[in-house]
Structure 1
Amino acid sequence: MFEIKQINVAYGESHVIHEVSLTVGANESVAIMGRNGMGKTTLLKSLIGLLPTLSGQILMDGQDLAGMPSYKRVKQGLAFVPQGRMVFPFLTVEQNILTGAEHSGHRTVPDYIYRFFPVLQEMKHRKGGNLSGGQQQMLAIARALISDPKVLILDEPTEGIQPSIIKELAQTLNLLRKERGFAIVVSEQVLSFALDLADRFLVIDRGRIVHAEARAELDQDRVRSFLTI
């Protein structure tokens, strides 16, 4: 189980995340929804250790990860796909994927990654910077998955991706989490993508969780009201 207990995060003197708590069960997918500037990226960066927390706990199976550097959090089972993907443009697809293998012991790309993302196998010798936005997102996800995570954290994964690819990406992630047995925490503004992927929805507004619903009871109009200016 992955738990966040009353974490607070600040940029300098600016307090951005206020007493946020949430629990993510095994194989569960949780969407964190909200407008730009409401704290989604800050929250996710604090979970993986790219930003320090002021206080609170980040628990993986009862072990507190707060205060650990990012690479140790990856070793404990977290994986992060950042906003904008951040692939290495001058490395090949295969080399990009293997940069994420430090803690998993993989020396070659596992077959299941190419099975779920066949385009990456077709382009494994192409440089990452020469891929389309959708292909780069698949590459960034593959690089995270090679660490064999318990929890995959995705920050705005639909940004800059063609609508035709978005639904396919949600379907692939659902199949992956079912087969590989990991949970997902995703920040997102595209409600249709979140509806295809998430079991539970949290809305963040000005650094606080202000609304939470399971997918089966979701009031889509209410969630949309938090996403519009």
Structure 2
Amino acid sequence: MFEVSQLNVAYSESHVIHDVSLVVGANDSVAVMGRNGMGKTTLLKSLIGLLPTRSGSIRLNGHELAGLPSYERVKQGLAFVPQGRMVFPLLTVEQNILTGAEHSGHRTVPDYLYHFFPVLQDMKYRKGGNLSGGQQQMLAIARALISDPKVLILDEPTEGLQPSIIKELAQTLNVLRAERGFAIVISEQVLSFALDLADRFLVIDRGRIVHDELRAGLDQEKVRSFLTV
């Protein structure tokens, strides 16, 4: 169980995240939707420890993570795929993946990662900077998954990707989630992708959660109204 309670985040004197709470069950997938500038990336960076929180609680299976550095949160079971992928351009695909293995004990890339992302095996000696956007996104996800996380956090993973790749990415993440047994927290603006992946939808507006609904009863038009300018 991943639990966030009354989380507040500020840049200097600017209060960005206001009393955000959410609960993600084991193997669940939660989408945080919203327009640009509403706080999605700030929220996710605060969960992984890249931004400090002013107050609130972040707990994974009963262990408090708030205040811990990012690497300690990774040890506890969080993994993060940042917006823009942020792969190491001069490292090979294989080297990129293994940079995420420090806390997992993996000395080589696990077979299941190459099974789900066969293009990475084909290109494992190619430099990360020479991959396409879609391939770099697969690489960033593989780098996060090698830590064997309990919760995979993805920030705007569809940014800059072709529609066919977006559809394939959702299918792959669903199968991985089922087979590897991790939960997903994802920030996203593309509703079709979120519908393919998420069990529950949260809408963030000006740093506050303003809508929370399960997929089964989702009012898609209401969610879309929060995504349009």
Q: Same fold (TM over 0.5)?
A: yes
1:200 correspondence with 2:200: yes
Residues in 2 aligned to 1:63 and 1:102: alpha-carbon distance in whole angstroms:
21
Q: Number of paired residues?
A: 229
The Cα shift of 1:164 comes to: 1.0
Residues in 1 aligned to 2:227 and 2:32: alpha-carbon distance in whole angstroms:
11
Residues in 2 aligned to 1:147 and 1:225: alpha-carbon distance in whole angstroms:
37
What does the per-residue CA deviation read over 1:116-174, in whole Å, with 9 as the maximum and x for residues that have no partner? 00000000000000000000000000000000000000000000111110000000000
Residues in 1 aligned to 2:11 and 2:213: alpha-carbon distance in whole angstroms:
29
Name the counterpart of 1:25: 25
- Deviating runs (4+, > 2 A) in structure 1? none
Task: Name the amino acid aligned to 1:5.
Answer: S
1:171 correspondence with 2:171: yes
Give ranges in structure 2 of 5+ residues lacking alignment.
Answer: none
Alignment of 1:108-123 (within 5 A): 108-123=108-123
SS of 2:149's equivalent in the other structure is coil
TM-score normalised to the size of structure 2?
1.00
The Cα shift of 1:187 comes to: 0.1
What does the per-residue CA deviation read over 1:20-66, in whole Å, with 9 as the maximum and x for residues that have no partner? 00000000000000000000000000000000000000000111100
Task: Name the amino acid aligned to 2:48.
Answer: I
Residues in 2 aligned to 1:123 and 1:144: alpha-carbon distance in whole angstroms:
18
The Cα shift of 1:79 comes to: 0.1
Name the counterpart of 1:86: 86
Alignment of 1:11-90 (within 5 A): 11-90=11-90
Residues in 2 aligned to 1:188 and 1:139: alpha-carbon distance in whole angstroms:
19
Give ranges in structure 1 of 5+ residues lacking alignment.
Answer: none
What does the per-residue CA deviation read over 1:87-126, in whole Å, with 9 as the maximum and x for residues that have no partner? 0000000000000000000000000000000000000000
Name the counterpart of 1:150: 150
Alignment of 1:86-105 (within 5 A): 86-105=86-105
SS of 1:96's equivalent in the other structure is helix
What percent identity do the matched residue pairs reach?
A: 86
What is the Cα-based RMSD across aligned positions, in Å? 0.3
Alignment of 1:209-224 (within 5 A): 209-224=209-224
Residues in 1 aligned to 2:120 and 2:159: alpha-carbon distance in whole angstroms:
19
SS of 1:170's equivalent in the other structure is helix
What does the per-residue CA deviation read over 1:5-31, in whole Å, with 9 as the maximum and x for residues that have no partner? 001000111000000000000000000
What does the per-residue CA deviation read over 1:187-219, in whole Å, with 9 as the maximum and x for residues that have no partner? 000000000000000000000000010000000
Name the counterpart of 1:188: 188
SS of 1:19's equivalent in the other structure is strand
The Cα shift of 1:228 comes to: 0.2
